[in-house]
Structure 1
Amino acid sequence: MPLKIHGAPVGAQAIILAVLASMGGFIFGYDTGQISDIVLMPDFLERFGQLQSDGSYAFSNVREGLIVGMLSIGTLLGALVGSYISNWLGRTRAMSIFCAFFSIGVLIQVTAISDWVQIMMGRFIAGWGVGALSAAVPVYQSETAPKEIRGTLVATYQLLITLGILVAYCFSIATRSANTNGANWRIVVALGWIWALILGVGILFMPESPRWLVAKGRYDEAKRSIARVKGCTIESDHVEYTFSEIVTDVKKEEAEGVGTWFECLFGKKGIPKLAYRTYLLMVLQAIQQLTGANYFFYYGATNFVSVGLSDSYVTQIIFGAINFFCTFFGLYVMERFGRRWPLIIGGLWQAAWLFAYASVGVIYDTNSKGTGSFLIAAAALFIFGYASTWAPGIWILTGESFPTRTRQKQASLAVAANWTFNFLLAFFTPFITSAIDYAYGYVFAGCNLFGAIFVFFFLYESSDLSLEQVNKMYGAPGLKPWRSEKWLPEGFSSRSSEMEDAKYTARRFAEHQENAGNAPADTIPARTSDETMHDTGANPALATKEKPVAQQV
């Protein structure tokens, strides 16, 4: 028997596919986490670093920035190019191909002997796979997950990013004594093949996105996909209603033609706030990077020697563990309190602790253990807020804010903004910290404050709505973002309802009957797909009186 949430069935398959697809996030996090420790390993330094006057080896700011940041350049390109493969082959097969790209990049890195450019290019190619996955996974999860738990399931992507970072830190500390022929760093990098294999093969056994299937005209497969996710039979009223809603929305969008990059950036008449939503998520993805989280995850190990944690690997594990475990709280927060207010409060919380972090670091002696302890605490409390709000929230919004016909392209553009700023931070942070040191925290504090204000004035509340209803909300006349949480789809008494209220459905059907009885047969207007959706999907007793939408299109 499927689990019931707000009266709607949710099958175990929905949870399995969300967690499995989130292995794409695990790969992302693992590749992000491993490099911060690998660049400190003696063998890696001797092979790819530069000989210093005292006989030691170290990386210049430029070389370290390129090795760390080149992954982000690959992910930027992968996020954009991957949209074509996802729209052409489908979400599941595309993710399998992206895992193959990542595996090739891992191979190039593992076989490097002494050329640092080979490491850099291996990370660049692996980044193609990571970037394509980062755009495809939230879209696939949002298109497939039931709306009742969509936020939680899509947020598992961020949860597994944090798990990947933590696991990378743990493997780095476990292998650091294996110095033979660079085994310590090679093992850590090579383990990436395991995660790619799990996702690349496992995802092929998961149901394809029903929205992609409907767009391709494969209606029976779409119904089977919905049924598997809901844990119902294909004849279930819940399956029929969801299917009819998807068909209605997809057919309306198809009438507008094929979605293009141009209209994603400049909008299209008849599609509500299309370009608005593209730039909205591009800004939010950029701000997610500008919160300063990766400042700690990429370079945090070097900032806290003064507190007595001389082992930088342990320092990284502490931050990775906080990030991972606090994300569980984030799953609850984003599902229980929606999207807008967690991001607003999270931005203010993060700004406050970064301001404190920067002020103490600038004013007081950072060689003091007391000062260092406060800096660690401030960073930990910042990460708590980030992991609970901005980390999962932006990925949820990336998957649920766009219409079907342009969803993959718009998600790719949004994710590309994330990776652009990811690279800029990874590359320029060594230069910036050498110039202004802890005052860097003021920059991030200002970005978090801006993020909270931006969300209040521009982000619409999309929690507890189906993807089709989100599209309608953005087209609601005169609706302001700060009032959007009160918006309801026509015929619904609350957002927690899976289908329209029975009274509304009965009234709509009675109107059709009355109109049909008073008008000559040859003048009765054809029923729109939207009307059919309302009449046949919501009430099992009425479903036998009209043909389902799929039979009319």
Structure 2
Amino acid sequence: MTEESLESTRTSNLVEKKHHKTTPSIIYCLGLALAGIVFGFDIGSIGMINFQTYRDQFGDILYPSGEKRINEVVLGLIVSGFSLGAAFGGLLLPRFADNYGKKPLILFSMFLYSLGSLTVCWAWEWWQVFLGRILNGAGVGCCGVVSVMLISELSPPDLKGPLVSSFQVFTTVGILFGAMVVYLCKNERSRWQYRISLVIQMNLAGIVAIVTAFVPESPVYLIKSRQYNKALRSIGRINGLSPTDHQVEAELNDLRERTQLESLNIAMSDPNSTSILKGEPRILFRTVIGTILMIFQQLTGINYFFFFGVAIFENAGVEDPFLTPVILGAVNLVFSFFSLWLVSQYPRRWLLISGSLLMMILIFMFSTCGVFFLNSSNGAVVGSIMILLTCFFIGAFACTWGPLSFVVLSELFPLRVRSKSMSIASAMNWTTTFALSLLSPLIIRHIGFWYGYVFAACLFLSAFFVFYYIPETKYDTIEQIDRYYESMTTFNEFSIGFPTKTFKKRNKKSSTIQQPEIQLHDV
């Protein structure tokens, strides 16, 4: 049995038979995807750092007016602490899922997140905020990985892609929600101005924890830990059947056989087959490619707008800069729904390359407006044009690099190393976010809107990177991608140019055995 055929059968019987109810599993998956709101709300509510009450509490530079501001290094640490914690939480904590189960880990991650928000809420020094932000990030980083893994295991095979994608959709909902809360609190003058968002963060984490408590544990984990009675109940709940139903027992036996077969295959295989450094075909090289892909996702400049949008448009002379993140969040949400259709219709590489070039043009125009025209007599009009360009930029990202970088990453690796390779790439994604969040306030203060040209250059490089180094994964099986790497001797040899209709038709024959469209984690 090939690795791909084994992967395709691992969930083939779980929720696919016509007499089984798919509604319970869909509800469970959507409940788990609610964790995306916690992640999104944290991003959307970061604008609270621009509240004067926040600056007065944690600022250390005094204006002649008596108001305070936070110096750029401290501001960078406060914003980037979340990414630092997420890199740790996403890379290390999910490994405990094999020993303790996925549900307990999700509950623990929400506890960590709530503890972080509570720490920030009652902090009186900036370093306490930094510590709280690290705890926030560790909770979200862990929950983001484990929730998606559990969604992938509980979802019906034919709905796996949309249900996994629902986590990203809920994230965009959270971003909009967070921006709206910040906007509604802008006129509050007490210290509760920024604490309201923190209290909501804790409540959202509590809701996710309560919902998770009612979700069944992964049957695969229960079987591997020899908890067969609990596995029966879990399979029954997922399928809407009684645990004593003979179909549930049959599926339990089937899962046990396939789990044992997988363990046997691993035991008989080459010890290096699961190694990142020595695995073939070219696992180390593919991991590097995936890591660079995720680094470029952050170098698009998306968080330049989401993290520092209020400050950017405050400098642009926008009358109400707190309204801008609400507009950007709404645009992000709308285009995230549109991306579900776009990703299913068009080749991955074409969308990534097109997205890079389009975003490059948009952020180049944005920076040009800010550098050369903002201080002219038509400054108000220029500021409005910059908001419009940013909306187009957010929409382009939401349709291309936002979802597709994770989709392509999940399709680059064989099952045996996918989890490890993706964890490394995702950790570097968070590390890049940390570096940008830390340095951006200082860079913005010294070079202003010239900073956008840096991201424009990175977007130009990302288009070439995808063109030369990323294969088209939409129409090929993992075995075909393996063969690409086996026969590859140079990067140029690997390039297949821009996708064409001919290429699409040529590969449609193999699409019937293609792995699920969005398969972030094995089950």
Q: Which amino acid aligns with 2:215?
A: M
Judged with a 3 Å threshold, the aligned counterparts in structure 2 of structure 1 residues 443 and 53 are, in CA distance, closer, same or farther, namely closer
Find the partner of 1:153 among 154, 163, 174.
163
Aligned to 1:531: none
Aligned to 1:253: 266
Q: Is the 8 A contact 2:306 2:325 kept in 1?
A: yes
1:470 paired with 2:488, answer: no
Judged with a 3 Å threshold, the aligned counterparts in structure 2 of structure 1 residues 475 and 87 are, in CA distance, closer, same or farther, namely farther
Aligned to 2:367: 358
Find the partner of 2:512 among 473, 482, 494.
494
1:116 paired with 2:129, answer: no
Aligned to 1:263: 275
Q: Is the 8 A contact 2:78 2:129 kept in 1?
A: yes
Find the partner of 2:197 among 188, 192, 195.
188
Judged with a 3 Å threshold, the aligned counterparts in structure 2 of structure 1 residues 439 and 250 are, in CA distance, closer, same or farther, namely farther
1:529-548 matches, cutoff 5 A: none
CA–CA distance in 2 between the matches of 1:183 and 1:60? 22
1:66 paired with 2:77, answer: yes
Judged with a 3 Å threshold, the aligned counterparts in structure 2 of structure 1 residues 211 and 240 are, in CA distance, closer, same or farther, namely closer
Q: CA offset at residue 8 of structure 1?
A: 12
1:138 paired with 2:148, answer: yes
CA–CA distance in 2 between the matches of 1:23 and 1:464? 31
Q: Is the 8 A contact 1:28 1:130 kept in 2?
A: yes
Q: Is the 8 A contact 1:306 1:369 kept in 2?
A: no
Judged with a 3 Å threshold, the aligned counterparts in structure 2 of structure 1 residues 311 and 235 are, in CA distance, closer, same or farther, namely same
Aligned to 1:442: 453
Q: Percent identity?
A: 28
Aligned to 2:173: 163
Aligned to 2:431: 420
Aligned to 1:199: 208
Q: CA offset at residue 128 of structure 1?
A: 1.2
Per-residue CA distance 1:383-409 (angstroms, 9 max, x = gap): 001011211223334555545554443
CA–CA distance in 1 between the matches of 2:84 and 2:232? 39
- TM-score between the two structures when normalised by the length of structure 2: 0.80
Q: CA offset at residue 85 of structure 1?
A: 1.4
Q: Is the 8 A contact 1:162 1:323 kept in 2?
A: yes
Aligned to 2:296: 287
Per-residue CA distance 1:436-480 (angstroms, 9 max, x = gap): 322222221222233233233333444588xxx636743565486
Aligned to 1:31: 42
CA–CA distance in 1 between the matches of 2:269 and 2:35? 32
Q: CA offset at residue 137 of structure 1?
A: 3.1
Q: Is the 8 A contact 1:45 1:58 kept in 2?
A: yes
Q: CA offset at residue 317 of structure 1?
A: 0.9
Aligned length: 485
Q: CA offset at residue 102 of structure 1?
A: 1.1
Judged with a 3 Å threshold, the aligned counterparts in structure 2 of structure 1 residues 192 and 398 are, in CA distance, closer, same or farther, namely farther
Judged with a 3 Å threshold, the aligned counterparts in structure 2 of structure 1 residues 290 and 28 are, in CA distance, closer, same or farther, namely same
Q: CA offset at residue 9 of structure 1?
A: 8.5
Q: Is the 8 A contact 1:98 1:130 kept in 2?
A: yes
Find the partner of 1:80 among 88, 91, 94.
91
Q: Is the 8 A contact 2:475 2:511 kept in 1?
A: no
Q: Which amino acid aligns with 1:185?
A: Y
Q: Is the 8 A contact 2:61 2:71 kept in 1?
A: no
Judged with a 3 Å threshold, the aligned counterparts in structure 2 of structure 1 residues 249 and 459 are, in CA distance, closer, same or farther, namely farther
Kindly report the root-mean-square deviation, in angstroms, between the aligned alpha carbons of the 2 structures.
3.9
Q: Is the 8 A contact 1:139 1:400 kept in 2?
A: no
Find the partner of 2:62 among 42, 52, 55.
52
Q: Is the 8 A contact 1:78 1:130 kept in 2?
A: yes
Judged with a 3 Å threshold, the aligned counterparts in structure 2 of structure 1 residues 201 and 463 are, in CA distance, closer, same or farther, namely farther
Larger Rg: 1
1:168-183 matches, cutoff 5 A: 168-180=178-190, 182-183=191-192
CA–CA distance in 2 between the matches of 1:385 and 1:241? 47
Q: Which amino acid aligns with 2:330?
A: A
Judged with a 3 Å threshold, the aligned counterparts in structure 2 of structure 1 residues 109 and 365 are, in CA distance, closer, same or farther, namely closer
Per-residue CA distance 1:519-551 (angstroms, 9 max, x = gap): xxxxxxxxxxxxxxxxxxxxxxxxxxxxxxxxx
Q: CA offset at residue 277 of structure 1?
A: 3.7
Q: Which amino acid aligns with 1:470?
A: I
Aligned to 1:532: none
Q: Is the 8 A contact 2:318 2:383 kept in 1?
A: no
Q: Is the 8 A contact 2:412 2:481 kept in 1?
A: no
Judged with a 3 Å threshold, the aligned counterparts in structure 2 of structure 1 residues 245 and 178 are, in CA distance, closer, same or farther, namely same
Judged with a 3 Å threshold, the aligned counterparts in structure 2 of structure 1 residues 215 and 78 are, in CA distance, closer, same or farther, namely same
* Secondary structure class of the residue paired with 1:312: coil
CA–CA distance in 2 between the matches of 1:31 and 1:422? 14
Q: CA offset at residue 62 of structure 1?
A: 0.8
Aligned to 2:386: 375
Q: Is the 8 A contact 2:22 2:156 kept in 1?
A: no
Aligned to 1:334: 343
Q: Is the 8 A contact 2:176 2:326 kept in 1?
A: yes
CA–CA distance in 2 between the matches of 1:326 and 1:8? 36
Q: Which amino acid aligns with 2:266?
A: E
Q: Is the 8 A contact 2:186 2:322 kept in 1?
A: no
Q: Is the 8 A contact 1:51 1:57 kept in 2?
A: yes
Q: Which runs of 5+ in 2 are unaligned?
A: 1-12, 489-493, 517-523
Q: Which amino acid aligns with 2:290?
A: L
Q: CA offset at residue 123 of structure 1?
A: 0.9
CA–CA distance in 2 between the matches of 1:79 and 1:100? 15
Judged with a 3 Å threshold, the aligned counterparts in structure 2 of structure 1 residues 18 and 460 are, in CA distance, closer, same or farther, namely farther
CA–CA distance in 1 between the matches of 2:271 and 2:19? 33
Q: Which amino acid aligns with 2:265?
A: K
Judged with a 3 Å threshold, the aligned counterparts in structure 2 of structure 1 residues 121 and 305 are, in CA distance, closer, same or farther, namely closer
CA–CA distance in 1 between the matches of 2:155 and 2:74? 42
* Secondary structure class of the residue paired with 1:268: coil
Q: Which amino acid aligns with 2:435?
A: L
CA–CA distance in 2 between the matches of 1:377 and 1:194? 34
Q: Which amino acid aligns with 1:358?
A: S
Q: Is the 8 A contact 2:224 2:259 kept in 1?
A: no
Per-residue CA distance 1:119-155 (angstroms, 9 max, x = gap): 1111112221112123323333344444534332222
Q: Which amino acid aligns with 1:474?
A: D
Q: Which amino acid aligns with 1:371?
A: V
* Secondary structure class of the residue paired with 1:136: helix
Q: Which amino acid aligns with 1:140?
A: L
Aligned to 1:41: 51
Q: Which amino acid aligns with 1:91?
A: K
Judged with a 3 Å threshold, the aligned counterparts in structure 2 of structure 1 residues 227 and 442 are, in CA distance, closer, same or farther, namely farther
Per-residue CA distance 1:145-195 (angstroms, 9 max, x = gap): 445343322222222222212111111222344434x11211211211222
